[in-house]
Amino acid sequence: MIEAIKKIDILYIVSIMPPYPGGASSDYGTITSILKDYKDKFQRIVVLTERGCKKEMDDVLQIKDVLFNYDSASNKSFFKQLINYLVILSYILFAKKDIIHIHARYVYAKYIGRIIWLALLISPAKVVIDIKDKFYNNFGFGHHYIVCSEDLLEYYSWINNMYYIAFSIKFPQIDKNIKYGHKVAYMGTIVENKGILELLDGYRQYVNGSKNPLELHLWGLNNMGDRFIREIEETKNAKYCGYISNEEVFKKVLEYKAIILPSKSEGLPRICLEAMYCNRIMICHRSIRIVVEHIPEEFVLNNATSMEIKNKLFIIESYDKALSYDYDFDVHSPERVANKLIEFYSNIQNVKFQAERYKPA
């Protein structure tokens, strides 16, 4: 008698999903919408996320936006954070899932993250901790891990059960020859650890020394509050443009001569790939250049200081060469990534499966 293949019952615990902007939101939204169609592989996909996310309920996918808006809101509340973690703990301990796929930020959130860690160890589910950046430096045992770039695979070299699976991006058909304006942009969450203050300081220095300065536009949710608004008001030729949806990014990138990302802690930011796909200049930190070696050296920040940013802005202003990147964008195909994840989930369900480090072909 042939034994039926057990379908996977999986729980995702992620802070944001569409329509919230950001790479993680877009990635989880795209992948879960594709995985739900593999009805022969999945019994149920439950997503625990913040309020305000797009709800979706069918026979496979259930998006439960029951967490308080803590990550996506600039007004932080310890009470809301505490309630969120109590809800997360209840799902981990009582949801009775085969696999729990959880964003690393919950596991490494200071002391309360230790409690999450313990709950994940107690849970009978196989646990997948999803790391998308370079913030973490402990607790590298007891579970399976996935990272979104080969560089992160090496960065977290002390973790044995670490797997590389690229994040997903839908690359649309666009006219890359559209004429851009005399302006540059930052696109991402407005937070200090993304180098926002260094960017604005460097831009002010640049404007003071330029006869024809590029405009600077900043797009994204403002998590710095009034401090950021004051900085913008004090910066000539700089403008905060507010929220930008994931669907608008490619069209908007085409309007700019360059995209600037002064963050030092990224794994492989999707805005970097979006700018490259549009054949636009990408100014980024060397940690990103290590991952995407096709970015020209002249556009790389070594320390992401305001002085470095000023110098790069002068380079952008005078740059007049055609630009293209020899990068395999197909590795981020949502269908390809979904198949890699299904392979991964199926393997870790098998108790005999144990690989120290894994990179899908």
pLDDT on residue 139: 67
Amino acid at 24: A
Mean pLDDT of 278-304: 88
Q: What CATH superfamily is the domain 8-168+333-358?
A: Glycogen Phosphorylase B; (3.40.50.2000)
pLDDT on residue 130: 94
What is residue 8's DSSP assignment? E
> What is 183-318's CATH topology?
Rossmann fold (3.40.50)
Could you tell me the residue ranges of all domains in the chain? 8-168+333-358, 183-318
Q: Say whether pLDDT at 359 is over 60.
A: no
Question: Which pLDDT band, with edges at 50, 70 and 90, does 150 fall under?
Answer: confident
Task: Give the chain's mean pLDDT.
Answer: 88
Contact 196, 228 (CB under 8 A): yes
> Element (H or E) spanning 259, and its range?
strand 258-261
pLDDT on residue 135: 72
Fold: same for 8-168+333-358 and 183-318: yes
Contact 144, 128 (CB under 8 A): yes
Q: Say whether pLDDT at 288 is over 60.
A: yes
Mean pLDDT of 196-205: 96
211: helix, strand or coil: coil
Question: Which pLDDT band, with edges at 50, 70 and 90, does 355 fall under?
Answer: very low
81-85, 179-183, 205-209, 256-260: which range is least confident on average?
81-85
pLDDT tens sequence across 79-92: 888 899 999 999 99
Which strands sit side by side in the sheet containing 61-67, from one edge to the other? 61-67, 42-50, 8-13, 99-103, 126-131, 144-147, 162-164, 357-358
Kindly report the pTM of this predicted structure: 0.84
Q: What is the CA radius of gyration of the chain?
A: 21
How many residues does the structure list for the chain? 361
pLDDT on residue 3: 43
